[in-house]
Amino acid sequence: MTGPNVNVASYLSSQKKNKNKELAAEWATLEDLYNEKLWNELTIKLTRFVRHPALQKESILMQLYQNFIQTFEMKINPYGLVQILEVVVEHISDKKEAIEFLSKLKDKTKICDEAVWYIQVLQGNIYLTYLNDLDAAKKIIEELRDVLEEVGNVTPVHGKYYMLASQYYRRVGQHSDYYRCGLQFLGCSLDDFPRDQWAQQAFFLGLAALLGDGIYNIGELLAHPILVSLNGTQNEWLINLLKAFNTGDIKKFNEMKPTWAKIPDLLAQEVKLRQKISLLCLMEMTFKRSATQRNISFEDIAKETQLPLGEVELLIMKALAQDLVRGEIDQVAGVVNMSWVLPRVLDRKQIAGMATTLDTWMASISSMEKLMETRAAEILTN
């Protein structure tokens, strides 16, 4: 076998003879960058070039790697190398070979943590999507979770990781983890997420918000721009259902049952959904009341939640146990004195209500201030 430079020159020369003039020009540019040893510019160029429609075959991409990229892969940015070879790996038909290819690549890029994490995410995607090896995918997700949580800043890998994790949790039916990872992914990579997939992602996140254990901050999803993608679709009703949950509107929930009951997962969990919206209703009742009106009678709670009076105390105890509210139950008087409610992302109506509460509070302070001034004058004159 001849030396690497001879192989590269011969390979590039043959590629420049391509009948596609545009592609031939691209090959010529790559040759110039390679000969001038402009590794950074070559990396950037290759990142786009490997995605050219004419190259999307396993044999063509592997030839590109073996005859060209492999000869200088240790000279370019490790993370950039992974970005380039991600396309090559996607086209390897034998996915076990793809895993092995990535394992070898990991050894070549070990000087860059982000590149290694990126490779692990790619392996996780293959295990999850192609090999159906949920245990292997879970192991990678758990290993990376601990590593990425310790990183002081958000890296380009975070978004890719959260997408992998959310897909895994959706597969195994862990709604809460899917919801949290899904939102974290959108926080990192919304701009890179294809617009034509927004509506589907919004629908899945909406269902997860309703079905997930411990998910009471639904306003976080309602405030996210991705939810707007459901407008004008057959799933637009989900926005109204999420709003009903966010405000604990049980009447609206019941009115919408003919619609949401068409979703098997929601219908199967009707009892759980009613428990959840009842807790959110209690939270909303506490939130709306001023600090001087936090003694809520069991009768009022039963009326708002549409629960039998005998089940109200259990509802309150569940809310206290999950730290959704804080307070004390007076069983004899049949009231609960609320002192705190879990902070949540608020919608415009809830913010307006809070503003009114603050205005009332400020008026009370002003009244007390004037009273103290008046009484102080009496004390001084006496």
pLDDT tens by residue, 18-43: 889 999 999 999 999 999 999 999 99
Q: How many CB atoms lie within 10 A of CB 59?
A: 8
Question: Distances from the Cα of 379 to the Cαs of 296, 311, 375, in angstroms?
Answer: 38, 53, 6
DSSP per-residue letters across 18-86:
-S-HHHHHHHHHHHHHHHTT-HHHHHHHHHHHTT-GGG-SHHHHHHHHHHTGGGTTTTS-HHHHHHHHH
Contact, 102 vs 123, CB < 8 A?
yes
**pTM here?**
0.85
Checking if the pLDDT of 149 tops 50, the result is yes
Closest CA to 235 of 263, 257, 212: 263
Assess contact for 193 and 201: CB atoms under 8 A.
yes
What is the C-alpha separation between 101 and 108, in angstroms, rounded? Answer: 11
pLDDT above 70: residue 381: no
In the predicted model, is pLDDT for residue 82 greater than 70? Answer: yes
Averaged pLDDT for residues 78-102: 98
Give 130: exposed, middle or buried? Use CB within 10 Å, 0-12, 13-18, 19+: middle
Q: Which DSSP state fits 218? A: T
Question: pLDDT, tens digit, for every residue of 160-212?
Answer: 999 999 999 999 999 999 999 999 999 888 888 899 999 999 999 999 999 99
| pLDDT > 90 in the chain, percent | 82
Q: Residue 346: what pLDDT?
A: 64
Q: How confident is the model at residue 1 (pLDDT cuts 50, 70, 90)?
A: very low
Separation of alpha carbons 114 and 140, rounded Å = 15
| 286 three-state secondary structure | helix
Give the pLDDT score at 345: 78
**How are strands ordered across the β-sheet holding 325-330?**
295-297, 335-341, 325-330
Paired with 161 in beta bridges are none
Q: Is 284 exposed, middle or buried (0-12, 13-18, 19+ CB in 10 A)?
A: buried
